Amino acid sequence: MNSRERMRRAILFQGPDRVPHSFKDVFPLFQVEPASWQPEEPYYPYVHPMIVKYGVWKSRRPLPKGWLKLTREAIDEWGTVWRVSEVASLGTVLKGALEDGWHLLDGYKPPDFSDWSRYVFMNRLGKALGRLRFKFAVDTNSIWERFHFLRGFNNAVADIIEHPSETRRLLEMLTDAVVVRAEMFHRAGAEAFMLLDDWGTQERSFISPVHFEEFFEPCYRRIADKCHELGMIVGIHSCGGRSPKR
């Protein structure tokens, strides 16, 4: 049984010959920021350090030597400002691109995720190093995470109740973007598509099940339907869980 069949059987509970091993049987695919995206001063680029270290994305303006080790303010291509340090795995949102009000949504445009330059590096790497492995795409700009990165967390949990129509508009925009990424990752060779959304504290979800079903379930259903149409397995990673009763 090869790695691709092993992983697929494990996901579908179809009796693999052994438990799949990370990276040995699996090859993850990520999209990277295009070279055309160049943040202006005073912000540093919000780009994964490994992408910078391997020269997949390069800044066109000079940056201080060792800047990846600085505690810094960085901006991502969505326009959200982050506070990042050497030890931070993600960083902390300082200012969401839409945090100052819903009026900003009228003129807001998300990044162009149909740009093939975002995926070509991982596509080539997958062909060279992951040819016999199960390739799955890791989507790091998913629905709930990106929603509160743009609006700010406190706004986001209130928006669902106080601004339902605007919430639906933004969620539709975000879902459109995820669907495009699913299509592009499929072109890049992905056999599965994994969303990354953190929905829970250690005790409960951030929002009620009723509001999840009303606002977010249709988004995930649309994404899942597109992935299944493309022949890809789809899943969602979410941290958090209910603490045991004492």
Domain ranges of the chain: 1-31+113-246, 35-101
Burial class (CB in 10 A: 0-12, 13-18, 19+), 47: buried
Q: What is the pTM of this model?
A: 0.92
d(CA 152, CA 96): 6
Cβ(195)–Cβ(216) under 8 Å? no
Model pLDDT for residues 175-218, shown as the tens digit of each residue: 999 999 999 999 999 999 999 988 877 777 888 999 999 999 99
Per-residue model confidence (pLDDT) at position 115: 97
Q: Sheet containing 44-45: which strands, arranged edge to edge? A: 44-45, 72-75, 81-84, 92-95
**37-44: long-range pairs with CB below 8 Å, 24+:** 37/77, 37/111, 39/74, 39/75, 39/77, 42/73, 43/73, 43/74, 43/75, 43/81, 44/70, 44/72, 44/73, 44/74, 44/75, 44/84
Backbone angles phi, psi at 18, to 5 degrees: -160, 170
CATH topology of domain 1-31+113-246: TIM Barrel (3.20.20)
d(CA 242, CA 202): 5
Q: Which has more confidence, 216 or 140?
A: 216
Model pLDDT for residues 1-57, shown as the tens digit of each residue: 999 999 999 999 999 999 999 889 999 999 999 999 999 999 999 999 989 998 999
Model pLDDT for residues 73-120, shown as the tens digit of each residue: 999 999 999 999 887 668 999 999 999 999 999 999 999 999 999 999
Least confident piece of the model among 76-80, 113-117, 127-131, 227-231: 127-131
d(CA 163, CA 173): 16
Helix (H) or strand (E) holding 93: strand 92-95
